[in-house]
Amino acid sequence: MTNPTPAPTERPAAPPSTRDRLLDAAAELFYREGVGVGVEALCRTAGVSKRSMYQLFDSKDEVLAASLERSALAYQAFLWPPSDDGDLSPRARILRVFEWLEESAAAPDYRGCPFVAAAVEVKSPEHPASLVARRSKDALTAYFEQEAERGGAKDPALLARQLTVVFDGSSARAVVQAQGLDGLAVTTAGALLDSAGVRP
């Protein structure tokens, strides 16, 4: 009787790089506590030395921008329904974004849109983090415009900008009021879609 073939052993996952640890710590700290978090706290949370940080980035501002840049695609992938989901109409695809916002805003650790929060805190429109935030918002508006056009909106570009304002305004309200939105974002977006002629 032959011995059974041993099951292949899985290689352990490689530990995160110094850069990844810094960006993970930055994303967590800056979102939870704001961009005023110091370099020492950032490096302590990441488990890296300041020397190592400055070998990778010229400044904390660059770490902030890089952490936002890295999270942007994951944020969009979570926010937008998959492009190959043919079961959703353009209207439903737009409203799904606001449904996700409602779900997120109800969580006790919700601190608003990370891109808006960073841009508001750094103030300067030319700050690296502001540039990343602007690109993220432009991408959201472009998504709304694409779906609005597919849904037959009278003015897709205008509707897309209006929907972006509702998204950001709803997010800010949830933070300021420290409570969920109770359907406000979805119903407001739905009213805009009705007015623009985007039907179910």
Determine, yes or no, domain membership for 11.
Answer: no
Task: Say what the pLDDT of residue 79 is.
Answer: 87
Mean predicted lDDT score pLDDT of the chain: 91
Determine, yes or no, domain membership for 58.
Answer: no
Task: Say what the pLDDT of residue 2 is.
Answer: 46
Contacts of 52 (CB under 8 A, 6+ apart): 18, 43
Alpha carbon of residue 14 to chain centroid? 26
The H or E element that residue 164 is part of is helix 156-177
Please state the domain count of the chain.
1
Per the structure block, which two tokens stand in for 51?
């020397």
For every residue of 83-120, DSSP letters joined together read TT-TTS-HHHHHHHHHHHHHHHHTSTT----HHHHHHH
What CATH number is given to the structural domain containing 110?
A: 1.10.357.10
**For residue range 103-160, what is the model confidence (pLDDT) as tens digits?**
999 999 999 999 999 999 999 999 999 999 999 999 999 999 999 999 999 999 999 9
Dist CA 78 CA 1 (whole Å) = 52
Per the structure block, which two tokens stand in for 121?
């805190």
Determine, yes or no, domain membership for 119.
Answer: yes
Determine, yes or no, domain membership for 177.
Answer: yes
Parts of the chain with a pLDDT under 70: 1-14, 85-86
Instruction: Please answer whether residues 156 and 148 qualify as being in contact, where contact means their C-beta atoms are separated by less than 8 angstroms.
Output: yes
Residue 190: count of CB within 10 angstroms of its CB: 17
Task: Say what the pLDDT of residue 9 is.
Answer: 54
Name the residue range of residue 103's domain: 71-196
Determine, yes or no, domain membership for 115.
Answer: yes
Determine, yes or no, domain membership for 90.
Answer: yes
Alpha carbon of residue 155 to chain centroid? 26
